[in-house]
Every structure is written in structure tokens, then in C-alpha cells.
Amino acid sequence: MGISYVEFEDEAGILRRYRKHVNGRGLVATTAKVDPTAFVDPTAYVDSGAEVQRGAQIGPGGWVEGDAIVAERAVVGVNAHIGRRAVVGRNAVVGPYASIGRDAKVQNGARVPRELTIADGDEYRASGDDLRRLGLAA
């Protein structure tokens, strides 16, 4: 059986091609890099140039925009949105319906609460509780 593609026209009128990811069957742009161990829900999208690393999870309705990075073992919750060129650090959790702005950063191990919006270019830091959960703080 060959690889099947789905094509969409973006806001600039450019035709973009997506394929179904091997783990979860979510739609991944052909120019995105998604590790085979990452999970991409069937209703999630990973846009061109984005990177989803080993063991990361993109939940139902999740959207990772172009050139964003979702690091190892990070979790993007239900209907969460990761903006263009944003970075979600290792072991970070982006809660349901949260939105990470363009060029924003979520530190390693941080937990972004449900429905919170991180503004473009801002940085969301891990709390002491977040770090203790990972065994990184005394």
C-alpha cells in the first residue's frame, strides 16, 4: 500500500501536502519532522517546518504551526495551539485549549494551565512544583 496524501490550500493560496503519521494517524506536513515514537492524534495537525521530537504527544484537535518545536516527551493537550516558531520544552505540558503565541517559549517541565494564552514572544517558566514533579528540584 502506498503513501496517501491530503492537500490543503493555506491562507496565502499555496497548496500544502500532509501525510498521516504512523503513530496516531494525525496529519503531518511533508516538510515537518515528527519522530516515529511521537503520537499525533487523528484530529491533530503539524504544519510545515515544525518538529515533534521523541515521545511527544499531540492531543485531539492539537495544532502545531510551522517551524515550531515540541521537544521530547512534551504533551500538547486537547485543542491546544502552538504558534509559529514557538518552542515547547522537554517534559512540558500544554493544557487543553491553551495557546502558545508566535516565537513564545515554554520551559522544560513547565505546565501551562487549561485555556491560558501565552503572548507572542513571551516565556512561560516552570514552577518549583513542576520541577519537583520531574525530580529536578529539592
For residue 117, the 8-state DSSP code is E
Q: How far is Cα 129 from Cα 74, in angstroms, rounded to an integer?
A: 17
Homologous superfamily (CATH) for 5-131: Hexapeptide repeat proteins (2.160.10.10)
Q: What is the pLDDT along the chain (138 residues), one digit of tens a residue?
A: 456 788 888 778 888 899 999 999 999 999 999 999 999 999 999 999 999 999 999 999 999 999 999 999 999 999 999 999 999 999 999 999 999 999 999 999 999 999 999 999 999 998 877 767 666 654
Triad 132, 58, 121: Cα angle to 5°:
70
Q: How far is Cα 28 from Cα 47, in angstroms, rounded to an integer?
A: 6
The domain limits of the chain are 5-131
Residue 100 near residue 88, CB atoms below 8 Å: yes
Give the predicted TM-score (pTM) of the model. 0.90
What pairs with residue 75 in β-bridges? 57, 93
pLDDT value of residue 127: 82
